[in-house]
Amino acid sequence: MIQVGLLTESQKDSLVGQLYDEDSYFNAIQDANDDWIISIEEMEFCVNPEFQWVKDLPLIDYKPKPEPPIEE
Amino acid sequence: MIINPYSFGVAYDPDAQAFFTASGLTGATNLNAVNQLVLDLKAASIWTKMKAIYPFVGGTAALHKWNLKDPQDLDAAFRLVFNGGWTHSSTGALPNGTNGYADTFFKTDDVTTTGLQSYGVYLRTNPTFAVSTTEASTGLRNGIYWIRVTNSLPTTSNIRSGNRNENISGVTGLIGHSRSTATQWYVNNNSTILVGTISASTLTSETIRTFSLGAYNDAGIISNFSTQQLAFAFYGEPLLSSEMTNYYTAIQTFQTSLSRQV
């Protein structure tokens, strides 16, 4: 099972439009329970000193939302 | 007077050198591979038809983001912006299948309003699928044109041009597409070229949705995240069948020189 970092609403808001390394942006998404999450990679590879707290986020199993149908 | 030519260093193609200068790429193997790629594409008359070429060489996001055709750190130059989880290495850029994608800022109409174009990806790894995903994992896609794989057809890629879908066997290596005329398209399946026809009425202009790498981008709504490692991507003007073949040869030579061919 893939694990992801669980965010609060305010933590999610603080990551919008922010870099976790020189050329990569955070992309918080909602899981099947509508909880905001970021990936293990964003946590592990974050070198932005302002957001080192992401390394301490609680980990949860990733339960993805059902994907929307792709138009044919 | 005897002039030692080696004292002046290696002379690279000017376009390759511009890429090296902008990106900061180093290492003789990397530099020679990119330089040879540029030379091969120019010799095959493919270079001038391309709008964007992403060689994914160097092993970091800072080096993988650059468009070889226009190495400027600008959205208008179709420089990639990585979002979410990616793992960058010497073999390419691996999206995590959860929230990782790259925006190209490129729309179909940046090539033409007729829908005639070419695009393709070089994928090194097989897809894996999230539990609830029924259709996932793509190399390059916007809402109208795409390359994708599905977990119902795990060994098959699907290429779409306008309203025409075509399944091809295989999900790794070079998967490319060219809509060369109003009624004809070509598909690269590595060294195999498929040829088909399409109704002219399905030609589609696209002015809003940009191509994303690693996910489906429907006017900014990102979904269907990929888990396939990218080692090359391109889009540009239509290519002839012979040019598609030559493109595969050049790309495979490039990948082999970097010891990452599949």
ipTM, two decimals: 0.95
B135 vs A41: CB contact, 8 Å cut-off? no
Instruction: Tell me how far apart the alpha carbons of residues B203 and B192 are, in angstroms, rounded to a whole number.
Output: 24
Supply the pLDDT for residue B7: 46
Structure tokens at B169: 């066997």
Structure tokens at A44: 């592990």
pLDDT tens digits, residue range A41-51? 999 999 999 99
Contact partners, residue B39, CB within 8 Å, separation at least 6:
B13, B16
Contacts of B227 in chain A (CB under 8 A): none
Structure tokens at B108: 């179909």
Chain A residue with Cα closest to B128: A2
The residue among B154, B157, B94 whose CA lies nearest residue B124 is B94
Supply the pLDDT for residue B208: 67
**Among A24-33, A60-69, B163-172, B243-252, where is mean pLDDT lowest?**
B163-172
Contacts of B216 in chain A (CB under 8 A): 70
In Å, how far from its chain's centre is CA B62? 17
| DSSP code at position B256 | H
A29 vs B99: CB contact, 8 Å cut-off? yes
Supply the pLDDT for residue B131: 40
Q: How confident is the model at residue A68 (pLDDT cuts 50, 70, 90)?
A: low
Long-range contacts, stretch A64-68, CB < 8 angstroms, 24+ apart? A64/A31, A64/A32, A64/B98, A64/B130, A64/B131, A64/B132, A64/B133, A65/A30, A65/A31, A65/A32, A65/B132, A66/A32, A66/B132, A66/B134, A67/B132, A67/B133, A67/B134, A67/B135, A67/B136, A67/B223, A67/B224, A68/B218, A68/B221, A68/B223
Average pLDDT over residues A13-31: 97
B130 vs A64: CB contact, 8 Å cut-off? yes
Contact partners, residue B44, CB within 8 Å, separation at least 6:
B243, B246, B247, B250
Q: Does A25 touch chain B (CB under 8 A)?
A: yes
pLDDT tens digits, residue range B219-230? 778 888 888 899
Supply the pLDDT for residue B134: 39
Share of chain A above pLDDT 70, in %: 93
Instruction: Tell me how far apart the alpha carbons of residues B173 and B102 are, in angstroms, rounded to a whole number.
Output: 20
- Rounded to two decimals, the pTM is 0.89
Helices assigned H by DSSP within A1-72: 9-15, 40-45
Supply the pLDDT for residue B161: 63
Q: Does B81 touch chain A (CB under 8 A)?
A: yes
Contacts of B81 in chain A (CB under 8 A): 23, 25
Residues of chain B with pLDDT under 70: 1-9, 111-115, 128-146, 148-165, 170, 198-208
Supply the pLDDT for residue B165: 67
Interhelix angle B28-43/B241-257, rounded to 10 degrees, is 170
A25 vs B81: CB contact, 8 Å cut-off? yes
A67 vs B224: CB contact, 8 Å cut-off? yes
Q: Does A30 touch chain B (CB under 8 A)?
A: no
Interhelix angle B14-23/B28-43, rounded to 10 degrees, is 140
Contacts of A62 in chain B (CB under 8 A): 98, 130
